[in-house]
A and B are shown apart, each in its own frame.
Chain A
Amino acid sequence: MTNRWSPIAAWNRFWFEPGPAARLGLARAIFCGAAFFFYLPQDFSEWATAAPIFWMPIWLFSTLHVPVLSAQSLFVMQTVWKVSLAACALGLCTRVSATVAAVLGTYLLGLPHNFGATQHFDTLVVFALCILAVSQAGDARSLDSLIRSARGKDHSSRPITGPEYTWPIRAMWMLTALVFFGAATSKLRHSGIEWVLSDNLRLLLMRAYYHVSDGDPLTSLGLAVARRPALAQLCAGGALAIETSYIVALFSRRARPFIGAAGLLLLVGIRALMGPTFEPYLICALFCVPWHRIEAPLVRLVTRPTPVSVLVDTAPARLDISI
């Protein structure tokens, strides 16, 4: 018999605690839907027109000898990818569409990083797509489940809760926490507490307004913060505190919503004040929201008992009956 507190028991409890299929299904639908609309206007085929001297392959592409394809091939590939994202959002042929989205998404999202610099705004999207490909995310809130019901292959024998529906959500928790933890570790390793106590963030905020990032700051608030050194240090301290403590969200049910919200605010703050396009992280955050808890009251609201008026012919009475 396995000890409840053994590492293996703790591992199994964390990843495979039974959970509702609806939660994973909704996370799949909302994440893939948001990713579809976010990437729809983006054209990856332009990378085929970059001169070969710009080609500086990252390890994944060099190890697997993956080349940059022609513009026509990239166009076809990105079209298939976007269709697969939409199909996965709808839960149509979910296993196939999720696998296609993961394989093509890894190539297309990884491709730009072979041209001079590795940026970090889309790593979680790749992980999320791979997780969906391995998971059974199409068991609920999907066209697949509706089709199965219509064909009489209803999964009455299949559980609507189970360990299959928990680990993908927790994998996204874990990877999100490791992103923040990695960022905090890098700062502490390379700069220590000086990262907070020096003029570092003040100068970085000023520099951000010289068009040096993949996106420009959305507001001029960064310059306002930079004019107040103490406020810049406070922001730096807050950012480092959020990044360092994010890992706690994995284990504390109470702290989780607060730390999660603080992490989102940090990403929004970076985008607004410094410029880096962290929108994909916000899309990935949709994966971690317990949508089934939002869905339940909404469904109750829609199906609320409605008063039915019954007029009785022989008496001037009116009965309100709720059904």
Chain B
Amino acid sequence: MSRRRRWIVNVFLGCLVAGSLHDIVRDQEHWPFSQYPMFSGIWRETSFSWYRLVGVEPDGGEMILDDSRYIRPFDQSRMHLALVRLAHGDDAERRVNAAVANALERYERQRAIGQHDGPALRAMRLYLFEWRLDPDARNVDTPDRRQLIAEVRPAAGDAP
């Protein structure tokens, strides 16, 4: 191993270790470096709220889209957190509506090419669900409260 090669490897290793320690010590995140803060807070509440997309079928029935295959490439965690950021930013109403419209457009496009077997939708709604935690999670489909945040319909020509 030449001196030059060893120097290069040492600099590389130093960057890896220093970057990791920096984020841990400073409690910061510079992906792929991280302080790994997941689950680090204390959860004391016995109820919680979560943004949930809900499809409206042609007969008016609602279908909760709590399976991530309906909201690909998002998942339930990322979609909720993105909506939280949009809902708390500037021009929240317009941006949240645009986000739901985009989710509906992706749902229908992926349905049309067979990427999921969900029904055709005539609209998509965004609710803020609130649950009281049940020891058996029996109320997962029947939240204690639901607040309608947005509803969008397919753009003209896209309607099922």
Which residues from chain A sit less than 8 Å from chain B, CB to CB? 15-16, 43-44, 46-47, 49-51, 53-54, 56, 58-60, 106, 110, 112-113, 115-120, 122-123, 126-127, 131, 134, 162-164, 167, 171, 174-175, 178-179, 181-183, 185-187, 189-191, 194-195, 198-200, 203-204, 206-207, 209-215, 223, 226-227, 276
Contacts and interface: CB of A to CB of B under 8 A. Distances in A.
A-side interface mostly: helix
A190 B37 contact: yes
B99 A54 contact: yes
Given A178-B21, A179-B36, A204-B39, A50 B74 contact: yes
Best-surrounded residue of A51, A116, A122 (most CB of chain B within 10 A): A116
A120 to B, nearest CB: 6
Best-surrounded residue of B13, B29, B67, B98 (most CB of chain A within 10 A): B13
Contacts of B43: 199-200, 203-204, 207
A175 B31 contact: no
Interface in B66-98: 66-68, 72-83, 85-86, 95, 98
A164 B50 CA distance: 50
A50 B110 CA distance: 13
A183 B27 CA distance: 11
Contact of B46 (A113, A203, A212): A203
Best-surrounded residue of A110, A163, A211 (most CB of chain B within 10 A): A211
B36 A226 contact: no
Nearest to B11: A134
Best-surrounded residue of A15, A113, A198, A213 (most CB of chain B within 10 A): A213
Contacts of A164: 1, 5
B16 A49 contact: no
A182 B44 contact: no
B76 A214 contact: yes
A174 B98 contact: no
A187 B38 CA distance: 9
Contact of A183 (B20, B40, B82): B40
A53 B95 contact: yes
A119 B75 CA distance: 11
